[in-house]
Amino acid sequence: MRQFVDMGFDAPGATARDSFGIAATIKSLGKLDPEYRKEFLAEVTRAAQGAINDARSRYPDTVLSGMARKWTPTTVGGYSSAGGKAFPWDVNKVRNGIKVKADTRRNKSSVVYITQSTNAGRQFELAKSDHGTLGPKIRARYGRVIWPAVDRHMVEINAGVATAVANAISKVNRELG
């Protein structure tokens, strides 16, 4: 018997492995009617909303004092953001930067994933405790946010994604039948 969506972690966000054809479902819905694809992704986003809200609530108002100033690093904590404005840290932008996205490209193992879309948030999530100078300072004070939030809400995410897939199958069957 196939298992439901396995939400794992694939930096910078948690992912839904395509364990039972989610990519094919999304592609089929997009071909049938692009609105169906949007509805499916909205339903998956609602399924992940508990984890998103949990993660948003766990970002600190201030990480490190220097992160309040504007600067553009070449590499931070093992993550290269050359040319991207990493800071200042704006907790509201970081909280709103958590997004659910879908990628149905053939060679991707992550079909649906939760990611951090702001540079400062990615720096925070991807900082390594053993690389550079900023990473260890962040990890000494704070842990990651998105991955643990997804772990805490795994059951409701799996149930919601399973429901979204069942609804999509039902919609396709009605359309074709």
Give pLDDT tens digits for 70-100: 776 555 555 555 556 667 889 999 999 999 8
Distance from C-alpha of 19 to C-alpha of 158, rounded to nearest angstrom: 12
Residue 23 lies in a domain: yes
Residue 2 lies in a domain: no
Q: How confident is the model at residue 174 (pLDDT cuts 50, 70, 90)?
A: confident
Residue 1 lies in a domain: no
Residue 50 lies in a domain: yes
- β-strands 110-116, 98-102 pairing: antiparallel
* Domain membership of residue 127 as a residue range: 7-176
The predicted model gives 31-59 an average pLDDT of 90
Residue 48 DSSP SS3: helix
Tell me, what's the pLDDT at 56?
95
The predicted model gives 4-15 an average pLDDT of 38
E runs forming strands in 67-173: 75-76, 79-80, 98-102, 110-116
